[in-house]
Amino acid sequence: MPTASLQSRPPHGPWWAYLTLAMVAVYPVSIVVGAYAVIEPLEPLAVGRALVLSLAITLLLYGTLRAVARDRNARVQWLGVVLLLGCTYEIAVNTARLRGFNVTPRDPRVAVAYTVAAMAVATVCLRPWRDIRPSLRPLLIAAAVLVGANTYRAVARWWDDAPPTWMPAAQALTYAATQGQNAAKAPARDIYYIILDAMGRADTLRNIYGLDLGPFVADLRATGFHVVDHSRSNYAHTVLSFSSFLNLDYLDSVASAVGTQSGNREALEFLIQHNGLMRLAKRAGYEVVGIGTDYAATERFDEADVCVCQQFGPSLFEQAAIATTPFAAAPIDPWTYGAHHTKILTSLAALDTGVPSSRRQFVFAHILAPHPPFTFASDGAFRHPDRPFSLTDGSDFDGSTDEYVHGYHDQAAFLVRRITGIVHAILNRPGPRPVIIIHSDHGPGSRLQSNDAAHSDMSERMNNFEAYYFPDGHDDLSDSVTPVNLARALSNRYLGTDLPRLPDLTFFSTTGHLYNFIQVPPEASGGPGPRR
């Protein structure tokens, strides 16, 4: 019988080592899954990419350590402790900021110092120079418990909403416009439906941002557009606005089903991806083309026949996973701000040149500008914000009000010039004159307090931009028509419906309570909120 001592016998084989490394690699991804499950839609492909990246980095570090530590278990244990400690980086830095320390997660000095501290703690606690071969069981159990806790958070949130209580209301809304309607005649002209995210009304941009839309508006009117002088949005947030006008109705029934105190956005994701307007267009014989963004809710359009939806950088989910670790300070800007800049240019180019087809097209494009982040100078050149990548708006915008106003001004100035050229390119294409609708989901947010309705400037946020071109004559729409009725007018005229006009209503809600709708009267001016 062998007489080798327990100290010289490896306590676990290589598969234990790889299983432990895999569990450690899953941990940062599980943090984001646990935090955002149900509240924010999780794209399986993005989660998968994040897992693969995390595992690749973990294995690369493990292989690199072979040069300084031959013992497999010692390497796994030391690296595992360092990585688990590293996943507390975002929490630790944000806690320090709240306590008055001048630190940011993006500062390489902070990231390096935190990494060195984690390495020192792991070295002192584990003493890897010892002759005793370490057991991986404690580390594996610790990593499994941490991953399990995050998984439990995600599953518990999913279980509380499975089957979704909101599903019947959401399905009823998406199908309401298509029920009992006659199919339209064969489509005679293309339709372009263009959303400029957070594009404000002309008077708002002149008064707050010093930007004159006069030449843009005059050019649209000269080509036959009706520009709505007193336009207002239906909702204050992108996911609400899209869910509403893409389904040609208000969201009261879904809000009641979800609950006014809920932060669940899954219902809104469903409404956008399975919307009635695109289904009506397909039923009418159109090829539906979707032009997406790098914003989670409109990265893709499931109802589209063709989707111009390529991505040029890590998703918001992947960025959130990276942000939990010192890798938040890594120079990945070409794949964040640069990718965002490229995505907008690509979307505009798709509108400009068109998507080749032998069929009449219903083209729906979401352009994520002039909404933050502000990556365009007024001449279209790339401008790099000096902060972690974020799509946040209003008081969540990580910068001063003056920076917001200046950045928005330049980005909007570039965008209106680009849209002017695109409109002329579309109108000059051979064949029948197309239908074109251009509007925003809501106005800008320099004076928006994301979780404080009382101190938000309603006139800035709720006064959106709207213009439409119906080549065979404009419907009798009021000069304060909102997007839900504009979508109904389009559908009635070109997609075979006969929907009654709804009251033009505007609702504000906070980021924390999206479904707690506060009706905003047309005359509300909403004084400016406190400047940041």
Model pLDDT for residues 2-55, shown as the tens digit of each residue: 444 444 445 556 778 888 889 988 888 888 887 776 556 667 777 888 889 888
Separation between Cα atoms, residue 463 and residue 475, nearest integer Å: 21
Separation between Cα atoms, residue 176 and residue 316, nearest integer Å: 33
Q: Where does the pLDDT of residue 94 fall: very low under 50, low under 70, confident under 90, or very high at 90 and above? A: confident
Separation between Cα atoms, residue 179 and residue 276, nearest integer Å: 10
Locus of tokens 């065979």: 472
Please tell me the predicted confidence (pLDDT) of residue 229: 93
Q: Which residues pair with 275 in a beta bridge?
A: none
Separation between Cα atoms, residue 28 and residue 527, nearest integer Å: 42
Length of the chain: 532
Please tell me the predicted confidence (pLDDT) of residue 159: 63
Could you tell me how many helices (H) and strands (E) the chain has, helices first? 18, 9
Please tell me the predicted confidence (pLDDT) of residue 129: 62
Q: Where does the pLDDT of residue 182 fall: very low under 50, low under 70, confident under 90, or very high at 90 and above? A: low
Residue 313 and residue 339 in contact, taking contact as beta carbons nearer than 8 Å: yes
Q: Which residues pair with 382 in a beta bridge?
A: 376
* CB neighbour burial string for 332-343, b if at least 16 within 10 angstroms, e if fewer: bbebbbbbbbbb
Tell whether the model's pLDDT for residue 532 goes beyond 50.
Answer: no
Please tell me the predicted confidence (pLDDT) of residue 529: 39
Domain boundaries, the chain: 14-160, 191-380+406-472+481-519
pTM > 0.85: no
Query: Which residues, at least 6 apart from 461, have a Cβ–Cβ distance to it below 8 Å?
Result: 233, 236, 394, 442, 443, 444, 445, 447, 448, 508, 526
Model pLDDT for residues 98-113, shown as the tens digit of each residue: 788 888 777 888 889 9
The closest alpha carbon to 68, from 13, 139, 119, belongs to: 119
Side chain identity at 283, as an amino acid letter?
R
Please tell me the predicted confidence (pLDDT) of residue 40: 61
What is 191-380+406-472+481-519's CATH number? 3.40.720.10
Query: Which residues, at least 6 apart from 251, have a Cβ–Cβ distance to it below 8 Å?
Result: 173, 235, 240, 243, 244, 271, 515, 517
Separation between Cα atoms, residue 5 and residue 163, nearest integer Å: 56
Please tell me the predicted confidence (pLDDT) of residue 260: 84
Please tell me the predicted confidence (pLDDT) of residue 8: 44
The closest alpha carbon to 195, from 400, 351, 16, 388, belongs to: 351
User: 3-state DSSP call for residue 320?
Assistant: helix
Locus of tokens 């339709």: 191
Query: Residues 57-78: what's their mean pLDDT?
Result: 84
Q: Give the helix/strand (H/E) hosting 44.
A: helix 44-64
The closest alpha carbon to 492, from 506, 477, 505, belongs to: 477
Structure tokens at 453: 């309705």
Separation between Cα atoms, residue 347 and residue 242, nearest integer Å: 18
Q: Which residues pair with 436 in a beta bridge?
A: 192, 469
Please tell me the predicted confidence (pLDDT) of residue 531: 33
* CB neighbour burial string for 462-486, b if at least 16 within 10 angstroms, e if fewer: bbbbbbbbbeeeebebeebbbbbbb
